[in-house]
Structure 1
């Protein structure tokens, strides 16, 4: 006996570990939302290119667009134009879109739209390809060489690696202190782009490769333009720096647009070009987002779950998958509380019928049909019919009664009566038969007690099985069923007192005192 209990406990523990492990994998690795109401931000980034075309001239517009692995998950990318050919290519680590047309006239507008979300994105994914770790020093002479050497000497002394070297260089170039060497290299031009140029120059003299990176802030700011950053490869990862503030590390709300010295766009066959950016934030259901990503090359739990089934089949499984939850409730009510029911799983089957009739009307219809059926069964008992014949007659009259209730409900305009047919006829017949047997063997009060217990458990099971948060959890995380099975196995060896028995034998305990 001891080995059997040990076997059962080991089985329960294995089921528990498997169930919790699968849920943890979905939550921690696949980022499956715990609630159906959870949402994720979806950023809509628009770039509008406007220019005046020169009549009867071919037009070609080339513009950098963001890489698809820039730390965000791309949901959709659109190139919107009228009578233009569109081609996307890669140049020097950047993506370039080319709009071309043979002849256009007047004001032209081209649109680029990108939908991105941080969900399912790999952290730190701004650039995965390695970069150079050394570059030749530019040739400087005269005052510029003296100024650069004078600035680099203390920078080398106060830095320990590439990261601190770049930070110290940016700090000194942007320092508010009056430094003649910095002023000489800036040449009187205090623009952010020129400061970044001087930082890059000093890094080049020190043989540290760096390149400009242009980013867009994911914020609903009007008329924003790409912001200049610097990045350098330290042998393991890219380091990003703001050349104006010295801030290190690209913020999470920055989208890398392109890198390098080349301008954002190039226009042939037109004039007065302008690029306008706009960013808008929307909210999208995390579950819907996961379903959208399932059709892309993104690791999504939807590909290996019940959500991959057709919608009608999903609706069926949303009902079926909740049956073990109702069964567990019946087990607890019978084993721990001591509620008596007609059969083991009859309350769960009745609870399924309550899905259409609702609880109040379901109880009324169930009570009415069962009462009529019991009366009919009592009458048939006097005819001394055998069990099969008696059950067949009861089943036939249950069907007739259901038909009559549906007909009268339709005539009276009560739609709820039409759903009485969803009560399984065989289940109602067996309930009537079981109640009559209990009546004969244990009396009318006990029969009513069992019937009320069945209805109470059925109502609780129904409320639990249709509770939306729980339905979502069980349907999304099927591993919960293994946890329920483990608990059922543990309960299989429970031999303790039920709550009803403690109340029943309380008088004996008081007498013993």
Structure 2
């Protein structure tokens, strides 16, 4: 007996643990939404390239586009142009689209759109560390100015991070004559980044220029320049003008390197406008969409991978264990008497179409008429199988009659009576009749009332939309229910109704 109890406890622990772990994995690692109405941000990035074509000259427009290897996943990417060839190439971690045309005239417009989201993006590998840095060769005054800046920077820094911060601070001091010489009259962020890169190269510190955009609702936006360096363990990001360390979370890397965003051949007066817009999408729909757009098993091996018609069937079926759990609690803990375990659940399923009020009324009417017929047949001394056949046929006729009269009276809800399980109604009538004969009419009515109450409670719980969504999306929770049912199977204590009946004894 002890070994059986131990085996049962281990089985319950395994089932509950599996249910909790699988559900937790889906929620926290796969990031599947817990509620059906949860939404997530969708970002649409639009780039518009305009230029005037040079007559008689082939056109080649090269435009950097996001590398799609960050913490975002692409939902849709499109290139819109008229009479242009389009090709996308990857090089040094960047992606570049090339629009080409043999000839064109007048103003030309090219469009690029990328729709992405952060949810459900796969964990990306960190960028590979850069190769060893070689100093940028300088001569004459530039070398002297660079040395004059690097020497105090070395004295006021302790590592790569502080060296870069000190370099940025000094380069942004445009009153310094050495800085003025190296800037050569330029004061833009790119000019300062070029000087910072020059100084760091002399210290053999790697540096990359990173061009980003802000994920904010903006009509027109220009790429924002950041600098990043590798300290041997991780990438460090710096703003070349403010010296701010750490790139904000709402920045998306568009491309890296000193090259411009657009390189144009065969065109002039080119311009690029970037627009970012934000919208929301249902989180579950988004999960399905991202699964379709990338090789992922996020929802492929869930019930959402079934055809829609099969999904609707399983949304009903998967709630049956919830209804059974209600009956189990009502019978084993409360002590309510019902006609078996599954009869109330099947009646609860029929209530999905008839609604509770109509369902109870129709169930009561059909059962009462069936009991009257069953009482009459008892006097004929028929065997059980013929008697059940007659009752079943009578139930069918009653259901057909109710449907016909309700249709004539315009009570469309009553038409759903045909969805009642006729065999279950027949067996219910038979079992109520036996209970009536063996234990009396009052006990039979109590059992019928308990069955209706249990069916109603099961129906109300099984039709909660949030619960249906949760169980259908995370079916592993049923393993937890199985563990609870196994534990209930060894319960030998008092039921609530028994405590009420023997209240005087428990006090004594």
Cα RMSD of the aligned pairs, angstroms, is 1.7
What's the offset of the Cα at 1:188? 4.3
Q: Hey, what does 1:151 align to over in structure 2?
A: 149
8 Å contact 1:30–1:299 — kept in the other structure? no
Say if 1:253 and 1:95 are closer, same or farther in 2 by CA, change over 3 A: same
Using the size of structure 2 for normalisation, the TM-score is: 0.96
Q: What's the offset of the Cα at 1:395?
A: 0.2
Cα deviation 1:363-388 (Å, max 9, x = unaligned)? 11111111111111111111111111
CA positional deviation for 1:244: 1.1
Cross-structure match for 2:117: 117
Do the aligned partners of 1:5 and 1:493 also contact (CA within 8 Å) in 2? Answer: no
Relative to structure 1, is the Cα distance of residues 469 and 216 closer, same or farther in structure 2, using a 3 angstrom cutoff? same
Which ranges of 4 or more aligned residues in structure 1 deviate by more than 4 Å? 122-125
State yes or no: 1:372 paired with 2:380: no
Post-superposition CA distance 1:213-268 (Å, at most 9, x none): 11111111232111111122333433221111112222221111111121111222
Counterpart of 2:127 in structure 1 is: 128
Q: Which deviates further from its counterpart, 213-222 or 54-63?
A: 54-63
Task: Kindly provide the CA deviation profile for residues 371-429 of structure 1, in whole angstroms up to 9, marking residues without a partner as x.
Answer: 11111111111111111111110000000111111111222222212211111000000
Out of 227, 248, 252, the position equivalent to 1:251 is 248
Alignment of 1:274-423 (within 5 A): 274-423=271-420
The answer as to whether partners of 1:50 and 1:273 remain within 8 angstroms in 2 is: yes
Asked if structure 2 preserves the Cα contact closer than 8 Å seen for 1:293 and 1:300, the reply is no
The C-alpha deviation readout for 1:152-179, integer Å capped at 9, x for no partner, is: 2232223232222212211222258x53
Do the aligned partners of 2:145 and 2:178 also contact (CA within 8 Å) in 1? Answer: yes
Preserved contact between residue 30 and residue 300 of structure 1 (Cα < 8 Å):
no
Distance 2:495 2:86 in 1: 74
Distance 1:105 1:183 in 2: 43
Hey, what does 1:26 align to over in structure 2? 26
The more displaced of 334-343 and 291-300 is 291-300
Equivalent in 186, 209, 228 of residue 189 of structure 1: 186
SS in 2 for 1:319: helix
1:210 — aligned with what? 207
| Paired position in structure 2 for 1:431 | 428
Instruction: Compare 110-119 and 82-91 and name the one that shifted more.
Output: 82-91
User: Conserved in 1, the CA contact under 8 Å of 2:74 and 2:115?
Assistant: yes
> How far did residue 94 of structure 1 move?
1.7
Deviation of residue 201 (structure 1)?
1.6
Gaps of 5+ in 1: none
Match of 2:49 in 1: 49
SS across alignment from 2:221: coil
CA distance in structure 1 between the aligned counterparts of 2:145 and 2:102, rounded to whole angstroms? 52
In the alignment, is the contact (CA less than 8 A) between 1:137 and 1:207 conserved in 2? no
- Counterpart of 1:168 in structure 2 is 166
The number of residue pairs the alignment matches comes to 508
Q: Which consecutive unaligned segments of at least 5 residues does structure 2 have?
A: none
The change in CA–CA distance for 1:123 and 1:260 in structure 2 (over 3 A counts) is: same
The SS at the match of 1:34 is coil
For the residues of structure 2 that align with 1:204 and 1:163, how far apart are their CA atoms? 15
SS at match of 2:206: coil
In the alignment, is the contact (CA less than 8 A) between 1:333 and 1:339 conserved in 2? yes
Residue in 2 aligned with 1:69? Answer: 69
Aligned residue for 1:131, secondary structure, equals coil
Q: Which residue of 2 aligns with 1:139?
A: 138
